[in-house]
Amino acid sequence: MGQKEHLRNFGMLAILIIILCALPSNINLYLRSVIMFTMMYVVLSLSWNIISGYTGYVSFGHVMFYGIGAYATGILVVDYGWHWIPTLFVGVFVSFVVSLIIGFPVLRLKGPYFAIAMLGAAEGTRVVATVWEDLTHGGEGIGLPNVENSFETYFAMLVVMLATIVVSYWVGHSRFGIRLNAIREDEIAAESLGINTTFYKLFAFALSAIFPAAAGGIQAYKVLYIDPETEFFILVTIYMKLFAMFGGKGTVIGPILGTFILYIVQEITWVKFPTAHLIAFGVFIVLVARFMPRGLMGFAIDKGWARKGMVH
Amino acid sequence: MQEKAEIRSKYWLAVFLVAAYTIPFGVGIYTDNVFFDLQWLADLTTVILNGIMQGGVYAMFAVGLTLIFGVMRIINVAHGELVMLGAYLTWMFFFYVGVDPLLALFITLPIAFCIGLLIQKLLLNAVVGGPELTPLLITFGLGLTIIHIVEAIFTTDYRTIPYAPDAFQLTETIAVSRSKIISFVMAAFISISVFVFLKLHRLGKAIRATAQNADVAMVCGINIFHIYMITSGLAAALAVAGGALVSIQFGFNPETGVLYTLQAFAIIVLGGRGHYIGALIGGVMLAVIESLISFMIPNGTAMVEIASYGMMVFVLLIRPRGLMGPKEN
Amino acid sequence: MAEAEIALDIQNLKKYFGGIKAVDGCTFQVPKGQISGLIGPNGSGKTTTFNLLTGVLEADSGDVFYNGENIVGLRPYEIFNRGISRTFQITRIYREMTVFENMLSASSMKIPVREARERAEQLMEFVTLTKLRGEYGGNLSYGQQKLLEFARALMTDPDLILLDEPAAGVNRTLLNNLLEHIHHLQEDQGKTVLIVEHDMNVIMNHCEKVFVLDYGVKIAEGLPEDIQKNEDVIEAYFGHR
Ligand SMILES: Nc1ncnc2c1ncn2[C@@H]1O[C@H](COP(=O)(O)OP(=O)(O)OP(=O)(O)O)[C@@H](O)[C@H]1O
Ligand SMILES: [Mg+2]
């Protein structure tokens, strides 16, 4: 039974890829970038989901990895004249190292304390990006050369998104993911039943740190200007959290679904009601957390459209 | 011995605090911001005094948070937004009605109490005792909502209330601004009143009983949901009182609330989560460290935020119960 | 009966919670390849002893030797990987994971998934939870949760199994099956089992050796029928507490 399901899921993914490959040459620049940013948020919310949805360590500061990626690209392209593609790998590597350094102490904190410590870590990186002017150009930010080609960034983002989806799919259908779930449910039991929780948490955290770095790098190359305020903007974390929660955290399809729905909604409302839209997002977080903590997927499970659990 | 780990953690906390207070001096010496002459010492004294005064305000942020945590085990991350709201309420009464910022407390505190009550009744009562992260997310969303509503009304401009800005000359070289002294006295007065209320009043005792053990309190005929609502109301009132004190000495805008939450959180972690006196002491300690940092470290004001986070993370890792919090298993 | 080999050698184990001396210099040897019982009045330190043995709590002092190695100070997963598995008195199943996932979570990563799945199926079959394999652990009844814990503890084929009140809340027929299975594990596979239990029938009829704790100290050990007559034990249970 497993085999068939995997085939079906990969079939769906293949269709999505075909559509996303065919789209860009048939649509205008604006739509192309909307889709690119949607894909970016799929990357972000799926990554957040690995540490927060599967492992239960809700991060309020995941924007830091996105910002690190953006800065790696910005600095290397502008100050060192690199081609932008290799800079993505540097961003991913730096993010990976930072995630290990920060994760080791911070993942020992539980629940809300982890969440707030991550908020602090993100704010801290922002302050560093502001203060360390020699490296980051400080508060005035970095302007990137305007050679961007919207097809390049589009397809780069598509590749990163596919990588994130494939890794999430693996997490969501393997004993590794089950072990992360066990840590979320009861860390003491998990540890007593043979799970090296320190290692697994760190592994999950590192996984959830590398994809946002790549996405942040591509994004920097696309928007042509980065500064600490926008690249470490807490709203980015809020979006990834909300999209994943709305779709259903701890599932693969949930964050993807949540992003597609909510990002499009925010894209439409953003321009017309800039402030009201933020108020609405606040209210929306309250409502989702209070009334549908398991998101759309939870709803689907209750209706019998989807099965409980991830391995059957 | 079980006590061994206990003593070890106490020892490490002491080491950490000593380090936290000496590092600014170290960095100051390294960057040539420290001169051991009389003028510098007088400046240092001023800074420390100011820090202590400011600590009163910080304590105001923190006692409400610690009350909520103590009674319901909930971390209200919208707490700083309530402080910010308090500052705006005071500002409104001052500018539109012309009420003295401190007299305005007689109007703003009841309003705040009702807000807290409503938040508790509508959003939090149902999630007390459930997964810890649900109230965190709810209050987070609530905070976001408050920020942007205030922003929609008042924009992101910084506001201030000119209030007793002149300095009070302690000696020739040491001066503290009068507004700081006034707010310290107010903070001390309010927090002591609340403390007395908790210790002596029937309702205060019921609140403490609920904090000790909600199930037992319920069996003893206490309606714990009423207690939760009153606690939240009280906490909101304390936050708004803190906001009033903020408004007469600092500039504020809708986004400063985030920093207040953070500081309040660092303070209650340091003092011991749920511990009332701990929050007061922690408030003063954090404020003094912050003053030392901005006095001696270049770019120090940017570092202040980091100090709070660092304090919080280290204390949680070294000794989760902080200075005087109850032991947990 | 000849002196059996020792599976677990517990020496002078201590754990205080503030003023409460939960385990206060406990010394005993669990014989290898037998079913032993650990009994004592409520609050005598049985669960705390289990927590110390499995590394969930850090001992204040004392040693525990398992296969000649001192396992005090090891992390729980390291102890588990040396072949000591356990259940909890207050069940600790994963509430928002299915029964099947609960089972798989405890499988060793060293064996292939297919094998782990098969083992999980067999054990679920044995504790009659196959029908509920896709149900969330949190939706099971208390007795079913106990069964799930028992099955989960056997996923890695451990050599030493610590059971904290396996009988509580489990119906008679199933309990008998369970005990039968425990005997089978012991007799045919040479496993060592240590059971904490308040149900004296279980202790008297199934354990070869019994240890009695009171106020964190071992006050007696021996054959079940001797323990029944032991003055100190009677005093501990019925005396002026
Ligand atoms: N985490 C803890 N913190 C403080 N005291 C504890 C803790 N765990 C156990 N105790 C105390 O240690 C003593 C021994 O408890 P333990 O749970 O080991 O008893 P037990 O023999 O398993 O009892 P029961 O038969 O009721 O399960 C009790 O007095 C208990 O209150
Ligand atoms: Mg017990």
| Interface touch A105/B146, C-beta < 8 Å | no
Work out which ligand 1 atom sits closest to the CA atom of C213: 21
| Interface touch A193/C105, C-beta < 8 Å | yes
- Domain assignments of chain C as residue spans, ordered by start: 6-238
Choosing from C13, C16, C20 the residue with most ligand 1 atoms within 8 A of its CB, the one to mutate for a pocket test is C20
**Does ligand 1 have an atom closer than 6 angstroms to the CB of C17?**
yes
If you write DSSP's letter for every residue of B180-195 in order, what string do you get? HHHHHHHHHHHHHHHH
Which two structure tokens, joined as six digits, stand for A90?
A: 């540097």
User: Does ipTM surpass 0.95 in this model?
Assistant: no
pLDDT recorded at residue C3? 61
Q: Identify each DSSP E strand in chain B by its residue range.
A: 167-169, 175-177
- Ligand 2 mean position to C54 CA, how many Å? 14
| Interface touch B1/C16, C-beta < 8 Å | yes
Q: What is the mean pLDDT of residues B13-41?
A: 86
A79 in reach of chain C (CB within 8 A): no
CA-nearest residue of chain C to B3?
Answer: C18
pLDDT recorded at residue B216? 86
* A107-165 confidence digits (pLDDT tens): 998 888 898 889 888 988 998 898 888 888 888 889 888 876 788 899 999 999 999 99
Cβ-nearest to A178 among C76, C101, C152: C101
Instruction: Determine the distance in angstroms separating the CA of B6 from the nearest CA of chain C, rounded to an integer.
Output: 9
3-state secondary structure of A212: helix
pLDDT band at B328 (very low <50, low <70, confident <90, very high): low
| Interface touch B2/C60, C-beta < 8 Å | yes
The protein residues having their C-beta less than 5 angstroms from ligand 2 (an ion) are C 46-47, 89
Q: What is the mean pLDDT of residues B4-12?
A: 82
Q: Which of C50, C97, C148 to mutate to test the interface with A (most CBs of A within 10 A)?
A: C97
pLDDT band at A55 (very low <50, low <70, confident <90, very high): very high
pLDDT recorded at residue C1? 46
Q: Which residues of A touch C55 (CB under 8 A)?
A: 192
Number of other CB atoms surrounding residue B219 within 10 Å: 9
Q: Which fold has domain C6-238?
A: Rossmann fold (3.40.50)
| Interface touch B1/C18, C-beta < 8 Å | no
CA A251 to the chain's CA centroid: 14
Contact C166, C195 (CB under 8 A): yes
pLDDT recorded at residue B156? 86
- Ligand 1 mean position to C51 CA, how many Å? 10
Angle at B183 between CA B181 and CA B185, to 5 degrees: 70
Choosing from C44, C211, C219 the residue with most ligand 1 atoms within 8 A of its CB, the one to mutate for a pocket test is C44
DSSP state of C98: B
Cβ-nearest to C109 among A175, A182, A189: A175
> For the whole model, what pTM was predicted?
0.90
- Ligand 2 mean position to C46 CA, how many Å? 5
Which two structure tokens, joined as six digits, stand for A113?
A: 């304390």
Query: B251 — phi, psi (to 5°)?
Result: -80, 155
| CB proximity list for B107: less than 8 A, separation 6 or greater | B93, B99
Instruction: Determine the distance in angstroms separating the CA of B150 from the nearest CA of chain A, rounded to an integer.
Output: 10
Top pLDDT among C3 and A210 is at A210
Q: What is the mean pLDDT of residues A85-105?
A: 95
- A158/B247 Cα distance (integer angstroms): 49
Instruction: Determine the distance in angstroms separating the CA of A278 from the nearest CA of chain B, rounded to an integer.
Output: 6
| Interface touch C94/A197, C-beta < 8 Å | no
* B167-207 confidence digits (pLDDT tens): 777 777 788 888 888 889 999 999 999 999 999 988 888 88
Into which CATH architecture does domain B41-318 fall?
A: Orthogonal Bundle (1.10)
- Ligand 2 mean position to C88 CA, how many Å? 9
pLDDT recorded at residue B1? 46
Cβ-nearest to C76 among A185, A192, A308: A192
- Ligand 1 mean position to C38 CA, how many Å? 14
- Ligand 1 mean position to B317 CA, how many Å? 26
Size of interface A-B (CB pairs under 8 A): 107
pLDDT band at B29 (very low <50, low <70, confident <90, very high): confident
Contact B239, B61 (CB under 8 A): yes
Q: Which helix (H) or strand (E) holds C36?
A: strand C35-39
Q: Which helix (H) or strand (E) holds B169?
A: strand B167-169
Query: Above 90 in pLDDT, residue C109?
Result: no
Query: C10 — phi, psi (to 5°)?
Result: -105, 125
Q: Which residues of C touch B326 (CB under 8 A)?
A: none
3-state secondary structure of B252: strand
User: Beta strands C6-17 and B175-177: pairing type?
Assistant: unpaired
- Ligand 1 mean position to B172 CA, how many Å? 63
pLDDT recorded at residue B329? 45
Pick the CATH number of A3-303 from 3.30.70, 1.50.10, 1.10.3470, 3.10.20: 1.10.3470
If you write DSSP's letter for every residue of B9-25 in order, what string do you get? HHHHHHHHHHHHHHHHH
pLDDT recorded at residue C194? 93
pLDDT recorded at residue B222? 85
**Hey, which chains touch C, using 3+ CB pairs under 8 Å?**
A, B
A309 in reach of chain C (CB within 8 A): yes
**Which residue type does C99 have?**
V
Instruction: Determine the distance in angstroms separating the CA of B1 from the nearest CA of chain C, rounded to an integer.
Output: 5
* C115-137 confidence digits (pLDDT tens): 999 999 999 988 889 999 899 99
Q: Which helix (H) or strand (E) holds A96?
A: helix A84-106
**Does ligand 1 have an atom closer than 6 angstroms to the CB of C57?**
no
- Domain assignments of chain A as residue spans, ordered by start: 3-303
- Taking all residues of chain B, what is their mean pLDDT, rounded to a whole number? 88
Contact C14, C23 (CB under 8 A): yes
Which two structure tokens, joined as six digits, stand for A212?
A: 């946002």
- Taking all residues of chain C, what is their mean pLDDT, rounded to a whole number? 88
Instruction: Determine the distance in angstroms separating the CA of C126 from the nearest CA of chain B, rounded to an integer.
Output: 33
CB half-sphere exposure, A196, CA atoms < 13 A: 9
Portion of chain C with pLDDT greater than 90, in percent = 38
Cβ-nearest to C101 among A181, A186, A197: A181
- B101/B89 Cα distance (integer angstroms): 9
Query: Above 80 in pLDDT, residue A274?
Result: no
Size of interface A-C (CB pairs under 8 A): 83
Q: What is the mean pLDDT of residues C86-104?
A: 92
User: Beta strands C160-164 and C192-196: pairing type?
Assistant: parallel
Closest CA to C163 of C63, C39, C23: C39
Choosing from C14, C16, C17 the residue with most ligand 1 atoms within 8 A of its CB, the one to mutate for a pocket test is C17
Helix, strand, coil shares, percent, chain B, to 5:
75, 0, 20
Interface of B with C in 4-63 (CB under 8 A): 4-5
**Does ligand 1 have an atom closer than 6 angstroms to the CB of C16?**
no
Query: Above 60 in pLDDT, residue B149?
Result: yes
B328 in reach of chain C (CB within 8 A): no
| Interface touch B5/C18, C-beta < 8 Å | no
Residue nearest to atom 28 of ligand 1 (CA): C43
| Interface touch B138/A290, C-beta < 8 Å | yes
pLDDT band at B162 (very low <50, low <70, confident <90, very high): confident
Which two structure tokens, joined as six digits, stand for B66?
A: 């610690």
Instruction: Determine the distance in angstroms separating the CA of B3 from the nearest CA of chain C, rounded to an integer.
Output: 7
pLDDT recorded at residue A52? 93
Q: In what order do the strands lie in the sheet with C192-196?
A: C84-86, C160-164, C192-196, C35-39, C209-214, C217-222
3-state secondary structure of C8: strand
* A25-38 confidence digits (pLDDT tens): 888 888 888 999 99
| CB proximity list for C29: less than 8 A, separation 6 or greater | C6, C8, C9, C10
Q: What is the mean pLDDT of residues B117-132?
A: 89
* C34-62 confidence digits (pLDDT tens): 899 998 888 889 999 999 999 999 888 89
Residue nearest to atom 22 of ligand 1 (CA): C47
- Domain assignments of chain B as residue spans, ordered by start: 41-318
A236 in reach of chain B (CB within 8 A): no
Closest CA to B310 of B256, B270, B260, B278: B270
Work out which ligand 1 atom sits closest to the CA atom of C51: 18
- B241/B82 Cα distance (integer angstroms): 10
- Ligand 1 mean position to B248 CA, how many Å? 53
- Taking all residues of chain A, what is their mean pLDDT, rounded to a whole number? 90
| Interface touch C60/B327, C-beta < 8 Å | no
- B266/B324 Cα distance (integer angstroms): 14
| Interface touch B136/A127, C-beta < 8 Å | no
For residue C216, the ligand closest to its alpha carbon is 1
- B267/B311 Cα distance (integer angstroms): 8
Query: Above 70 in pLDDT, residue B3?
Result: no
- B137/B139 Cα distance (integer angstroms): 6
Which two structure tokens, joined as six digits, stand for A21?
A: 């490959």
Angle at B191 between CA B189 and CA B193, to 5 degrees: 70
Closest CA to C7 of C195, C207, C220, C194: C194
**Does ligand 1 have an atom closer than 6 angstroms to the CB of C42?**
yes
Number of other CB atoms surrounding residue B251 within 10 Å: 13
- Ligand 1 mean position to C45 CA, how many Å? 6
| Interface touch B144/A282, C-beta < 8 Å | yes
